[in-house]
Amino acid sequence: MSDRPEIVKDRIHALRSDLTASERQLAAVLLKDYPVAGLQSVTRLAAAAGVSTPTVIRMARKLGFEGYPDLQNALREEAAAQIRAPIARREAWTAGGEDGHVLHRFAAAVTANLRMTLDRVDPEEFDRVARLLADPARKVHIAGGRITRSNADYLFNHLQIIRSDVTLLSQSPNVWPQYLLDMGPETVLVLFDIRRYEAELLRLAELARERGAVVVLFTDQWGSPITAVAGHVFNAPVEAPSSWDSTVAIMLLVEALIAEVQAARWDTARDRIEALERMFSATKLFRS
């Protein structure tokens, strides 16, 4: 199961520079409502994109498929994978047998995730997000879902040491409107949302965007619905030989961002870290 089929979205991005103007127009429609847009009939998709049906068929072949039905089958498989429940995920991984120790199989899957993440991340986009998080004029709010709460908490713990005005949203969506009150164009809202995407996080992103906040999203290879309203998106594969998804690749991006933000704000970050260490010493929280 380590040899995973390439995501259609990745094929589109990889061939973006080779697409004609009409094909780029079609690609924009496919990516805007991915993967659902590609599940409609060829004539409806062509009409939605304002292109001809031969353009849709030609682009499907350019993406490596025999035709549009073949492309649709790939998108259906992706859609099914997105909503696959934990038990079904484990069955999918074990269907082909379990060769080798679980530690080695898991390491191979995670290593593949890391490699795919590095292949797809745009260094310039990474730098733009790092500058946003390091900007002292911006307030940072962070939230995660049921599984990704730990990723949000990790980012918060480190950013809060490096800089001020960093807030970790409560786990209860009932109080999120209170955080939204303080959000505006100077706010960066960082969200984590992976497979079995959470409706509350999408609504939070939509409301924050309406108030002018910049939304930064960490999501899986398929892409949370929040992608549609996010200003910056990081996609990282999450599949592993388990009932549960792995967020190791997401953590690679998070830890790299933490390092870059600290470097950008080192003069003030150093003062904060030194002050924190004095507090730790005074409270004898850690052994000397």
Q: Is residue 245 part of a domain?
A: yes
The residue ranking higher by pLDDT, 254 or 19, is 254
User: Looking at the structure, do residues 189 and 260 belong to the same domain, yes or no?
Assistant: yes
pLDDT at residue number 83: 63
How far is Cα 219 from Cα 233, in angstroms, rounded to an integer? Answer: 7
Residue 2, pLDDT score: 42
Instruction: Give mean pLDDT, residues 140-157.
Output: 96
Report if residue 287 sits inside a domain. Answer: no
Decide if 222 is inside a domain.
yes
How far is Cα 203 from Cα 183, in angstroms, rounded to an integer? 14
Q: What is the pLDDT of residue 144?
A: 97
Whichever domain contains 24, its CATH number is: 1.10.10.10
pLDDT at res. 50: 94
pLDDT at 206: 97
Count of structural domains within the chain: 2
Whether residues 135 and 67 share a domain: the answer is no
Domain boundary among 32, 53, 82: 82
Domain boundary among 57, 82, 107: 82
pLDDT of res. 94: 55
Please compute the mean of the pLDDT values over residues 240-255 and round it to a whole number: 90
Q: Tell me, yes or no, whether 88 lies in a domain.
A: no
54 and 191 belong to one structural domain? no
Mean of the pLDDT values across residues 11-32?
A: 88
For the cut 90, the answer to whether the pLDDT of residue 88 exceeds it is: no
Q: Give this prediction's pTM.
A: 0.73
Is 134 among the domain residues? yes
Q: Which helix (H) or strand (E) holds 190?
A: strand 187-193
| SS3 (DSSP) at 281 | helix
Mean pLDDT of 54-61: 93
Weakest-pLDDT range from 176-185, 250-259, 278-287: 278-287
Residue 166 and residue 218 share a domain: yes
From CA 232, how far away is CA 218, in angstroms rounded? 9
Residues 158, 203, single domain; the answer is yes
The residues, ordered by sequence, that sit 6+ positions from 55 with a Cβ below 8 Å of its Cβ are 20, 22, 23, 26, 46, 49
**Domain with 76 in it:** 8-82
Does residue 124 share a domain with residue 78? Answer: no
Question: Looking at residues 131-145, what average pLDDT do you find?
Answer: 97
pLDDT band at 1 (very low <50, low <70, confident <90, very high): very low
- Highest mean pLDDT among 7-11, 222-226, 259-263 belongs to 259-263
d(CA 250, CA 255): 9
Are both 181 and 58 inside the same structural domain?
no
Residue 193 belongs to a domain with what CATH number?
A: 3.40.50.10490
The answer to whether residues 36 and 43 touch, using CB atoms and an 8 Å cutoff, is: no
Amino acid 168: pLDDT: 97
In the 3-class helix/strand/coil scheme, how is 14-78 assigned residue by residue? HCHHHCCHHHHHHHHHHHHCCCHHHHCCHHHHHHHHCCCHHHHHHHHHHCCCCCHHHHHHHHHHH
Residue 5: band (very low, low, confident or very high) from pLDDT cuts 50, 70, 90 = low
179-221: pLDDT as tens digits: 999 999 999 999 999 988 999 999 999 999 999 999 999 999 8
Rg, Å, the chain Cα set: 21
Whether residue 244 sits in one domain with residue 199: yes
Domain check: are 130 and 247 in the same one? Answer: yes
In a domain, 87, yes or no: no
189 lies in some domain: yes
Domain for residue 106, yes or no? no
- Do 207 and 276 lie in one domain? The reply is yes
Asked if 267 and 129 sit in the same domain, the reply is yes
Q: Is the pLDDT of residue 111 over 80?
A: yes
Last residue of a domain, one of 53, 82, 111: 82
pLDDT value at position 252?
Answer: 97
Higher per-residue pLDDT: 15 or 154: 154
Q: Based on the domain organization, do 194 and 263 belong to the same domain? A: yes
What is the average pLDDT across 108-136?
93
